[in-house]
């Protein structure tokens, strides 16, 4: 019977993320010149949607996985088993540094390099500590998996011995 995963750490998100997302949207509108007339509409509507988005951000590290939820209109929930995590990388651009934010990208086994990260977490408070906790828990999980595979190899050998014994008994009975 599998045990229920225990939540080890719930990530907290920096409130400056709301301002960053708002300015990032404006910046993108300036880059796409034809959207500049939409900036006043953005300034009115974006704070409401960004606040709702921020309220629904969740990320938690459990004993077996990393779970992330986000979204206001379109909600996304992603669970990544810790033993599938290959790397956690940081990205900090000039605008992110200005707000004291960083992006933590989660890359998993089987993830193609061209597809990018499986998960990007923007604005986690104390992201370096959270990253280390994920790595530590991943190491614990993979160590248990390795020791578990040794146990399963032992079990296979025992089953083979039982099979051989039953074959010997069957041969003696039929003789």
Say which CATH number the domain at 164 has.
Answer: 2.30.29.30
User: Taking the CB of residue 20, how many other CB atoms lie within 10 A of it?
Assistant: 19
For residue 76, tell me if it sits in a domain. yes
Cβ–Cβ under 8 Å, residues 106 and 66 = yes
* Residue 84: pLDDT over 80: yes
The pLDDT of residue 73 is 86
Name, in order, each residue with C-beta under 8 angstroms of 48's C-beta and a sequence gap of 6 or more. Answer: none
Distance set, CA 5 to CA 50, 55, 156 (Å)? 31, 24, 28
The pLDDT of residue 175 is 72
Q: CA-to-CA distance for 48 and 22, rounded, in angstroms?
A: 10
For residue 2, tell me if it sits in a domain. no
Both structure tokens of 124:
């986690």
* Residue 58: pLDDT over 90: yes
Report the number of distinct structural domains present in the chain.
1
For residue 32, tell me if it sits in a domain. yes
For residue 1, tell me if it sits in a domain. no
Please give the residue range of the domain that contains residue 40. Answer: 7-174
Least confident of 111-115, 129-133, 139-143, 163-167: 111-115
DSSP state letter for 97: H
The stretches of the chain forming alpha helices (DSSP H) are 16-31, 39-55, 94-98, 127-174
């Amino acid at each position: 019977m599998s045990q229920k995963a225990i939540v080890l750490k719930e990530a907290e998100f920096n409130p400056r993320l709301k301002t960053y997302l708002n300015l990032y949207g404006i910046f993108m509108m300036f880059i796409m010149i034809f959207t500049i007339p939409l900036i006043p509409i953005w300034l009115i509507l974006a704070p409401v949607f960004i606040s709702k988005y921020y309220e629904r951000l969740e990320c938690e590290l459990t004993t077996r996985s990393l779970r992330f939820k986000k979204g206001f209109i379109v909600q996304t929930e992603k669970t990544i088993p810790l033993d599938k995590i290959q790397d956690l990388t940081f990205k900090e651009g000039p605008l992110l540094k200005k707000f004291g934010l960083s992006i933590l990208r989660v890359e998993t086994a089987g993830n193609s390099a061209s597809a990018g990260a499986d998960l990007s977490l923007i604005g986690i408070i104390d992201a370096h500590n959270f990253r280390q906790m994920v790595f530590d828990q991943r190491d614990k999980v993979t160590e248990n998996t390795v020791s578990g595979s040794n146990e399963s190899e032992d079990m296979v050998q025992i089953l083979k011995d039982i099979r051989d014994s039953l074959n010997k008994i069957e041969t003696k009975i039929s003789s």
